Amino acid sequence: MAVMSGTNSNNDYPIYAEGLMRHFGDVKAVDGVDLQVNAGEVFGFLGPNGAGKSTTVRMLTTLLRPTAGVARVAGFDVVKDADQVRRRIGVALQDAAIDPLMTGHELLALQAVLYGIPKAKVRDRSRELLERVGLTGAADRRVGTYSGGMRRRLDLALSLIHQPTVLFLDEPTTGLDPMSRLALWEEVRRLNAEGTTVLLTTQYLEEADQLADRIAIIDHGKIVRQGEPRELKAQVGAPTLVITVPTGQLDQAREVLRSFGELRPTAEGSLGVGLSAGAEAVPAVVRSLDDAGMQVQHLELNEPSLDDVFAEATGYRLEGAASASGLPQAQGAEGGTGKRGRKRGTNETTGESA
């Protein structure tokens, strides 16, 4: 597990967790999570539903007590100094609804009161935030009339009322249309540029790829990968070459590809191979197929994605066609299990590393 700065003391990390556990009866929802989030970074926290993501966030935001382990946020212990933590964090939880009977303006005013913002400043602060998230015109409308995107933006404004140094965003774009999603990403970038440390949980790998400086992948309550997306992708190794040949030539093509690297699962009717020599091997592959008299109908080279990192780390894919329910019959994939790479929980990165 990567520790970014060996010189940092625990107090210097805006978010720090060590051996964090939360058990519900026999269920180990979070089973020994270690996290070090550096000041001023956007940290992506990835995992499928039920992996332990939300439970971890609930512990870090003082909503739930850990069964064991230590967690410090903004330099304070989440159990012993919960009040100090609350003063310094902003949280937009996916599950924390906004009262539909109140107007945006009233909710901001209530939030300002709860955070002890002086009366004289409440109006200005609310106006500034409403303007920032583009809700000035809807401020006096009941939240029940807002669209999903508007609610998320209001939620973000609510979490910023006290200018927090650490911001937790729990699946902030789930269910949003592409335009709203882009607008929210832009706002997260702006906040981060202003110096706010952001912990972002998401199921969207693209979101993490776009926003996060570093990510952690959690599965079955444990962190299985942590680091910069670029590094993690590089660890997965070789790019995947996907080719399509006539159905009758699939077996022969599979034999040819095998000599260039490990076969990988792809959509039905195509073949994939992890090029152990990198992108430079593409001409050689094409020549070999040509020499064998095969007709290549389609060819594409895919660099490793976070989905590949996720699949490699957990044994299944988080999004896309190759879901956990079973990959499309992995034509030529060795083992033919339909699941990519290593068994869940192993840390080997295989011999295909670039």
* Interface with other proteins (CB under 8 A): 4-5, 7-8, 11-14, 38-42, 61-65, 74-76, 83-84, 86-89, 91, 93, 95-99, 101-102, 106, 109-111, 113-117, 142, 158, 162-166, 189, 192-193, 195, 197, 211, 213-214
Cα-atom radius of gyration of the chain, to the nearest Å?
Answer: 24
Q: How far is the CB of 185 from other proteins (least distance, A)?
A: 10
Q: How far is the CB of 7 from other proteins (least distance, A)?
A: 7
Query: β-strands 298-302, 263-264: how paired?
Result: unpaired
Identity of the residue numbered 119: K
Taking residue 241's Cβ as centre, other Cβ atoms within 10 Å add up to 24
CA distance 77 to 72: 4
CA distance 246 to 219: 39
- Which letter does DSSP use for residue 310 in this model? H
Q: How far is the CB of 271 from other proteins (least distance, A)?
A: 38
**How does 124-158 read in b/e, with b if 16+ C-beta sit within 10 Å?**
ebbeebbebbebeebbeeebeebeebbbbbbbbbb
Q: How far is the CB of 11 from other proteins (least distance, A)?
A: 7
Q: How far is the CB of 58 from other proteins (least distance, A)?
A: 8
Q: Which is nearer to other proteins, 5 or 147 (CB)?
A: 5
User: What are the φ/ψ torsions at residue 224 (nearest 5 degrees)?
Assistant: -105, -20
Q: How far is the CB of 88 from other proteins (least distance, A)?
A: 4
**Three-class secondary structure of residue 194 per DSSP:** coil
Query: β-strands 68-73, 76-77: how paired?
Result: antiparallel
Q: Which is nearer to other proteins, 126 or 314 (CB)?
A: 126
Q: Which is nearer to other proteins, 113 or 284 (CB)?
A: 113
Q: Which is nearer to other proteins, 230 or 247 (CB)?
A: 230
287 backbone φψ class: left, alpha, beta (φ>0; ψ -120 to 50): alpha
Number of H helices, E strands in the chain: 11, 14
> CB–CB of 166/199 below 8 Å?
yes
Q: Which is nearer to other proteins, 89 or 273 (CB)?
A: 89
Q: Which is nearer to other proteins, 197 or 249 (CB)?
A: 197
261 backbone φψ class: left, alpha, beta (φ>0; ψ -120 to 50): left
Q: Which is nearer to other proteins, 127 or 142 (CB)?
A: 142
- Which letter does DSSP use for residue 138 in this model? G
Minimal CA–CA distance to 266: which of 205, 338, 342, 324? 338
Q: Which is nearer to other proteins, 41 or 219 (CB)?
A: 41
Residues written for the chain: 354
Q: Which is nearer to other proteins, 136 or 210 (CB)?
A: 210
Q: How far is the CB of 139 from other proteins (least distance, A)?
A: 16
Structure tokens given for 261: 């690297």
Q: How far is the CB of 321 from other proteins (least distance, A)?
A: 30
Query: β-strands 89-92, 76-77: how paired?
Result: unpaired
Q: Which is nearer to other proteins, 13 or 260 (CB)?
A: 13
> CB–CB of 319/205 below 8 Å?
yes
Q: How far is the CB of 138 from other proteins (least distance, A)?
A: 17
Q: How far is the CB of 147 from other proteins (least distance, A)?
A: 18
